[in-house]
Amino acid sequence: MKIAIAGTGYVGLSLATLLSQNNEVVALDVLPEKVDKVNKRISPIRDEYIERYFREKELNLRATLDYKDAFNGARFVIISTPTNYDSERNSFDTSSVEDIIQKVLSVNDESIVMIIKSTVPVGFTESVRKKYGTDNIIFSPEFLREGKALYDNLYPSRIIVGEKSERAREFADLLVEAALKEDVTVKLMDSTEAEAVKLFANTYLALRIAYFNELDTYAETKGLNTRDIIDGVCLDPRIGNHYNNPSFGFGGYCLPKDSKQLKANYKDVPENIISAIVESNATRKEYIANEIIGKNPETVGIFRLAMKSGSDNFRDSAIQGVMEKIKNAGIKTVIYEPSVKRDFFYDYPIIKDLNQFKQTCDVILANRKDALLEDVADKVYTRDVFERD
């Protein structure tokens, strides 16, 4: 079976790797360098399992810049293009998804089923079905962690497909067949409910992060031991010991934009909690920045822009909001980030030598502790109490 995948971000590339074990998979992208890397079996993103499968597995996978080459003869076209949150419109920018839908329809093959994996507003799939006059569009949420996307596809928590039909079951079976986990839970539902599952799941994760960050703010302000309080709270099995390590805020690909989108979807529905989650993240970054500003440093160093260990992604990382507030207070701010090869990140100087970075800074912000900073522990400000993501 031929499957086309539009987009080679962590969602698309992980699915391409997963499904090409048993199917012909053609990945479509607009960037020649990414297409070239995939065809040379070089992963364009950091993901241990993708890199390993590229090295060790016989994958029926190729990449192309030509959408007709990708879509012709495909049974499924999986759409995993970016849908960034547009703050002016209070909604995801779904233009890249619609662009792929239009290209698929131009191929004039009515047997192609489009599976949207990009995160979209609640009701989007139903609206584009009506707009383009086709019912061959289904939403299927992904539940993947950055840097562990293929692992999470191999051992899925659940598989949800937004249609109660044989073709939805067919697509789910492809994912189950390629997974290593046994007895995977599969749930078929309408696409609008599936869209809601995605946004509510990620907003709940954001809620947990915000909750334990606010707990930490209280403990630090009152001179209490954050770890002892969290340990005591999380020993309750109803609460559990996960997503409870304080940080500078939630960031990354999904949680900020998904929680904002869910808040926007509540436009005509009474709510308090959803708005509070979004606002809590801004409050946390303001608090962290004020703590640093209160130390009166001449130079503040940012140790890594990425939020998680083992990650090279720092899109919308919480530390960037903290940096901006510190810089606006007139404090010199520099960055140590090995994955950035330029001399500046926006207008923040990048110091590429770690020892020079340590010597230059009076205070070093580290979202997560790192052994590389042990010799300057007295300079490091972090809210990491468990030394894990």
**What CATH number should be reported for the domain holding residue 227?**
3.40.50.720
pLDDT in tens, 60-74: 999 999 999 999 999
In the prediction, which pLDDT does 310 show?
Answer: 53
Residue 206 placed within a domain: yes
The more confident residue out of 317 and 26 is 26
> 77 - beta bridge partners?
4, 114
- Pairwise CA distance, residues 243 & 201, whole Å: 13
* CB of 286 closer than 8 Å to CB of 303: no
pLDDT band (50, 70, 90) for residue 254? confident
- Judge whether residue 331 has pLDDT over 70: yes
Q: Determine which of 147-151, 267-271, 315-319 has the lowest per-residue pLDDT on average.
A: 315-319
Extract the tokens encoding 347: 């207008």
- Judge whether residue 168 has pLDDT over 70: yes
- Pairwise CA distance, residues 180 & 170, whole Å: 18
- Judge whether residue 4 has pLDDT over 90: yes
My answer on whether 152 and 244 are in the same domain is no
pLDDT in tens, 33-70: 999 999 999 999 989 999 999 999 999 999 999 999 99
Tell me the angle at which helices 10-19 and 48-56 cross, rounded to the nearest 10 degrees.
30
Q: Per-residue pLDDT averaged across 98-113, rounded?
A: 96
pLDDT band (50, 70, 90) for residue 122? very high
Q: Is 164 helix (H, G, I), strand (E, B) or coil?
A: coil
Contacts with 153 (C-beta within 8 Å, 6 or more apart), sequence order: 14, 15, 18, 144, 175, 178, 179
My answer on whether 99 and 214 are in the same domain is no
In the prediction, which pLDDT does 339 show?
Answer: 85
In the prediction, which pLDDT does 124 show?
Answer: 97
Q: pLDDT above 90 covers what percent of the chain?
A: 89
My answer on whether 49 and 98 are in the same domain is yes
Q: Per-residue pLDDT averaged across 227-249, rounded?
A: 96
Residue 387 placed within a domain: no
Residue numbers annotated as active site: 254
Task: Tell me which residue range forms the domain holding 300.
Answer: 198-381
My answer on whether 22 and 54 are in the same domain is yes
Residue type, 170: E
Last residue within a domain, chosen from 189, 209, 226: 189
pLDDT band (50, 70, 90) for residue 89? confident
In the prediction, which pLDDT does 307 show?
Answer: 63
Instruction: Write down the mean pLDDT value for the chain.
Output: 95
My answer on whether 262 and 185 are in the same domain is no
Q: Per-residue pLDDT averaged across 188-193, rounded?
A: 98
- Judge whether residue 272 has pLDDT over 60: yes
pLDDT in tens, 139-160: 999 999 888 999 999 999 999 9
* CB of 80 closer than 8 Å to CB of 69: no
Q: pLDDT above 70 covers what percent of the chain?
A: 98
My answer on whether 262 and 372 are in the same domain is yes
Last residue within a domain, chosen from 151, 166, 189: 189
- Give one word for 284, left, alpha or beta, with left for phi > 0 and alpha for psi -120 to 50: alpha
My answer on whether 111 and 220 are in the same domain is no
pLDDT band (50, 70, 90) for residue 315? low
Number of domains observed in the structure of the chain: 2
pLDDT band (50, 70, 90) for residue 252? confident
pLDDT band (50, 70, 90) for residue 231? very high
How many other CB atoms are there within 10 angstroms of residue 118's CB atom? Answer: 25
My answer on whether 223 and 146 are in the same domain is no
Residue 84 placed within a domain: yes
- Judge whether residue 312 has pLDDT over 60: no
My answer on whether 29 and 163 are in the same domain is yes
- Pairwise CA distance, residues 190 & 385, whole Å: 41
In the prediction, which pLDDT does 308 show?
Answer: 61
The structure's pTM equals: 0.92
- Judge whether residue 311 has pLDDT over 70: no
In the prediction, which pLDDT does 86 show?
Answer: 86
My answer on whether 207 and 334 are in the same domain is yes
Residue 261 placed within a domain: yes
